[in-house]
A = this chain, B = another copy of it.
Amino acid sequence: MRISELSRRSGVPVATIKYYRREGLLPEGRALNPTAVEYGEEHVQRLRLIRSLIQLGGLSVARAREVLDAVDRPLDAFETLGVIHHALPVPSADENGKGGEGGTDDDGVGSADDTTVPGGAAARVEALIKSMGWQISDESPHRPALATSLAALGRLGTDYTTDDLLPYARLATSTADLDFAQLDGIEDRIALAERAVVLSALFEPVVRLLRRLAQEDANHRRHDRRACGRGEPPTE
């Protein structure tokens, strides 16, 4: 197929296809003559993966190249998923806010103690990983990100111990098992990579929205329970 057909099939504009080709993300097509290049099904598939990585996954072109390199190398599915997993944007509180804590360090929430320094939070993350028996690589970006989140919560006066986090970690394990059940049976490496990105980028909001809905329901249930137990809902 020509580039116009490739654009139609992949949903990627011609100019963007040319940009991905220049950046080395998309292999060259087969030159029919000096002005015509022929593309195949592998280009359609590749473009869909690139689009997933950049548009859905929010990866930079450089990060997308890392993932594509992993897909191109003779890595097994385990290693490919590992590369994708570490290349994805790391969740942080700053996504919503305008820079987390902001302002000064002295926020009147209490003085520093061992749980408010990053070291304390990092130690709790390690203890949690050990308690759960989780296998996590030293290069995982999620390990320090979790310590940073816990340290920020500590500075606001909400310290979570390892024991506080364990029930959440157990539910996370159950959720991750459901996630991997969605990848089972996909043997093609490009298809697997694409599904993993879609799962992380598009399905993560689904999981978060389900939690929000469940929270609204939990608020109702808590309210009903109080109303039944005490005769009247509390007005304070």
Chain A contact residues, majority secondary structure: helix
| Complex alpha-carbon distance, A203 and B96, angstroms | 12
**A101 on the interface (CB 8 Å rule)?**
yes
- Contacts A202-B156, A207-B172, A211-B176 given: A55-B100 contact, CB under 8 Å? yes
* Neighbour of A146 across the interface among B58, B77, B167, B213, CB < 8 A: B213
**A153 on the interface (CB 8 Å rule)?**
yes
Do A91 and B55 have beta carbons less than 8 Å apart?
A: no
Distance between A106 CB and nearest chain B CB, rounded to angstroms: 6
| Complex alpha-carbon distance, A223 and B110, angstroms | 45
Give chain B residues whose Cβ lies under 8 Å from the Cβ of A96: 56-58, 88-89, 201
- Contacts A156-B198, A187-B236, A209-B149 given: A100-B56 contact, CB under 8 Å? yes
Do B211 and A207 have beta carbons less than 8 Å apart?
A: yes
Give chain B residues whose Cβ lies under 8 Å from the Cβ of A142: 209, 212-213, 216
Give chain B residues whose Cβ lies under 8 Å from the Cβ of A27: none
Do B136 and A168 have beta carbons less than 8 Å apart?
A: no
| Complex alpha-carbon distance, A169 and B37, angstroms | 49
* Neighbour of A158 across the interface among B104, B195, B236, CB < 8 A: B195
Query: Quick one: CB contact mask for A144-157 with B, threshold 8 Å, 1 for yes?
Result: 01100110110010
| Chain B residue at smallest Cβ distance from A105 | B11
**A97 on the interface (CB 8 Å rule)?**
yes
Number of interface residues of A (CB under 8 A): 108
| Complex alpha-carbon distance, A90 and B215, angstroms | 13
Query: Quick one: CB contact mask for A211-230 with B, threshold 8 Å, 1 for yes?
Result: 11111111111110010000
Do B179 and A215 have beta carbons less than 8 Å apart?
A: yes
**A74 on the interface (CB 8 Å rule)?**
yes
| Complex alpha-carbon distance, A220 and B180, angstroms | 11
**A3 on the interface (CB 8 Å rule)?**
no
Q: Which segment of A28-36, A64-72, A78-86, A111-119 sits at the interface?
A: A78-86
Do B175 and A168 have beta carbons less than 8 Å apart?
A: yes
**A42 on the interface (CB 8 Å rule)?**
no
* Neighbour of A93 across the interface among B97, B143, B205, CB < 8 A: B205
**What would be 12 A-B contacts, judged by CB atoms less than 8 Å apart?**
A8-B106, A10-B108, A11-B103, A48-B107, A56-B97, A78-B219, A135-B217, A153-B202, A158-B198, A168-B207, A172-B214, A173-B218
